């Protein structure tokens, strides 16, 4: 087990290095940073001085080493637009994204597991079929367009909910959050629902498939033969056994919720990391792009590692050493 964790941890470090190399080469070498970082009005001497100051006259590998060294100390450069450290900019925006992602995941879990269980127990009933049809829609509908339609119905037509922003935030433990005020809730509910839809559909399908499979197992038949109540059979024997894959997927999908928040944040003008990334790409604010990518890759690697380790701890049958094709 500990050997596995160490090996898996080393593997994560390798991936992080590879990603940093790709991002560095992509952003700093393919695009010419000199044109962007240096005032085009500058004369030749000024230009050379600036190039030397930025270390751009050194060979590429040396630049990468410098980049890595400063990255290791948390310095990923200054934003051209905001002239603050890029990393601080990202970290400031992180709570908004995390709040949105957690709210979305909660919606998906709270609705998705019961709906999937219902559809799995009644696969041929109208209600079961309707839930499945709804989940197919959830897969097919492009997130950004659903967001627009939510705004159209609830903000423009009905006027119930605000269409953009985060509303007033309340500070708790030094972090600004929306969910502690009613106005914050009104701002949060639509983007969170929008972001949740895809994961909701996924969880419904996963829970339904798991339930149908579990119902055919001998231990469920045995529990029924023992005369246990229906609630107990489903609540304890079925649900417990299907929770292992569901917990894994929830963990793995949390990273993708953070990534997909880019789209939702853009639609609802939610001031999170994703909106910052899109703005930075449009403004060619390269240090912020690099910082965002490295931060999100690190989050991803951490989540994948945690889920893998957790999975092997939860389910002793899993031998994770082999990679499945």
Partner 1 sequence: MNADPAPAPASRAAQSPLRRVAGDFFANPVAAFGFGLLCTLVVFAVFAPAISPQNPYDLAQIDVMDSRLPPGAASASGGTFWLGTDDQGRDMLSAIFYGLRISLAVGAASTVLALAIGLAAGLAAAYLGGRVETVVMRIVDIQLSFPAILIALILIAVLGQGTGKVIAALVTIQWAYYARTVRGAALVEKRKEYVEAARCLALSPARIVFRHLLPNCLPPLIVVATVQVAAAIALEATLSFLGLGLPITEPSLGLLIANGYQYLLSGKYWISFFPGIALLLTIVSINLVADQLRDVLNPRLQR
Q: Does residue 16 interact with partner 1 by CB under 8 A?
A: no
List 9, 26, 55, 235, residue binding partner 1 (CB under 8 A): 26
Q: Does residue 260 interact with partner 1 by CB under 8 A?
A: yes
Residue span binding partner 1 (CB under 8 A) among the ranges 34-42, 73-81, 172-180, 289-297 = 289-297
CB of 42 to partner 1, least distance (A): 24
Neighbours of 156 (CB within 10 A): 9
Q: Does residue 142 interact with partner 1 by CB under 8 A?
A: yes
- Asked whether 144 and 263 are in contact (CB, 8 A), the reply is yes
List 256, 298, 309, 320, residue binding partner 1 (CB under 8 A): 256
**Site track for partner 1 across 89-128, x = CB under 8 A:** ----------------------------------------
List 38, 263, 276, 291, residue binding partner 1 (CB under 8 A): 263
Nearer to partner 1 by Cβ, of 237 and 275: the residue is 275
CB of 325 to partner 1, least distance (A): 5
List 141, 209, 243, 244, residue binding partner 1 (CB under 8 A): 141
List 4, 144, 154, 179, residue binding partner 1 (CB under 8 A): 144
Nearer to partner 1 by Cβ, of 30 and 225: the residue is 30
Interacting residues with partner 1 between 290 and 319 (CB under 8 A): 293, 296-297, 300, 304
List 96, 131, 151, 291, residue binding partner 1 (CB under 8 A): 151
Alpha carbon 75 to chain centroid, angstroms: 23
Angstrom CA distances, 33 to 56, 59, 64, 224, stand at: 8, 14, 14, 69
Nearer to partner 1 by Cβ, of 197 and 234: the residue is 197
Q: Does residue 15 interact with partner 1 by CB under 8 A?
A: yes
Nearest to 192 by CA among 93, 105, 296, 269: 105
Instruction: Quote the CA–CA distance of 26 and 114 in Å, as a whole number.
Output: 45
> How many chain residues bind partner 1 (CB under 8 A)?
43
Nearer to partner 1 by Cβ, of 39 and 282: the residue is 282
CB of 144 to partner 1, least distance (A): 5
Side-chain half-sphere CA neighbours of 124 within 13 A? 0
List 136, 236, 306, 313, residue binding partner 1 (CB under 8 A): 136
Residue span binding partner 1 (CB under 8 A) among the ranges 83-91, 177-185, 238-246, 255-263 = 255-263
- Asked whether 127 and 118 are in contact (CB, 8 A), the reply is yes
Residues that bind partner 1 (CB under 8 A): 15, 18, 22-23, 26-27, 30-31, 136-137, 139-145, 148-149, 151-152, 155-156, 163, 255-256, 259-260, 262-263, 266, 277-278, 281-282, 289, 293, 296-297, 300, 304, 323, 325
């Amino acid at each position: 087990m500990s050997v596995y964790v160490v090996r898996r941890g080393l593997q994560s470090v390798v991936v992080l290095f590879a990603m940093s190399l790709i991002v560095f080469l992509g952003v700093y070498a393919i695009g010419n940073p000199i044109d962007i970082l240096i005032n085009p009005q500058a004369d030749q001497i000024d230009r050379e001085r600036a190039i030397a100051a930025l270390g751009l006259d050194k060979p590429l590998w040396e630049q990468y080493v410098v980049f890595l060294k400063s990255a290791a100390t948390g310095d990923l450069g200054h934003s051209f637009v905001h002239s603050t450290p890029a990393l601080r900019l990202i970290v400031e925006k992180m709570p908004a994204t995390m709040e949105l992602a957690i709210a979305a995941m909660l919606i998906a879990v709270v609705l998705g597991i019961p709906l999937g269980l219902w559809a799995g127990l009644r696969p041929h009933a109208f209600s079961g079929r309707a839930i499945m049809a709804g989940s197919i829609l959830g897969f097919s509908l492009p997130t950004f367009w659903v967001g627009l339609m939510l705004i159209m119905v609830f903000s423009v037509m009905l006027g119930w909910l605000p269409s953009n922003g985060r509303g007033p935030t309340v500070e708790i433990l030094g972090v600004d959050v929306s969910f502690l005020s009613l106005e914050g809730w009104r701002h949060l509910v639509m983007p969170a629902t929008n972001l949740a839809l895809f994961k909701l559909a996924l969880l419904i399908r996963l829970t339904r498939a798991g339930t149908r499979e579990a119902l055919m197992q001998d231990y469920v038949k045995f529990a029924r033969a023992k005369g246990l109540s229906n609630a107990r059979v489903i609540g304890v024997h079925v649900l417990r056994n299907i929770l292992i894959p569901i917990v894994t997927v929830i963990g793995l999908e949390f990273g993708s919720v953070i990534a997909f928040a880019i789209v939702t944040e853009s639609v609802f003008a939610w001031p999170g990391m994703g909106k910052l990334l899109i703005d930075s790409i449009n403004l060619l604010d390269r240090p912020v792009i690099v910082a965002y990518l490295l931060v999100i890759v690190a989050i991803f690697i951490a989540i994948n590692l945690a889920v893998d380790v957790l999975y092997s701890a939860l389910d002793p049958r899993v031998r994770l050493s082999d990679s499945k094709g």
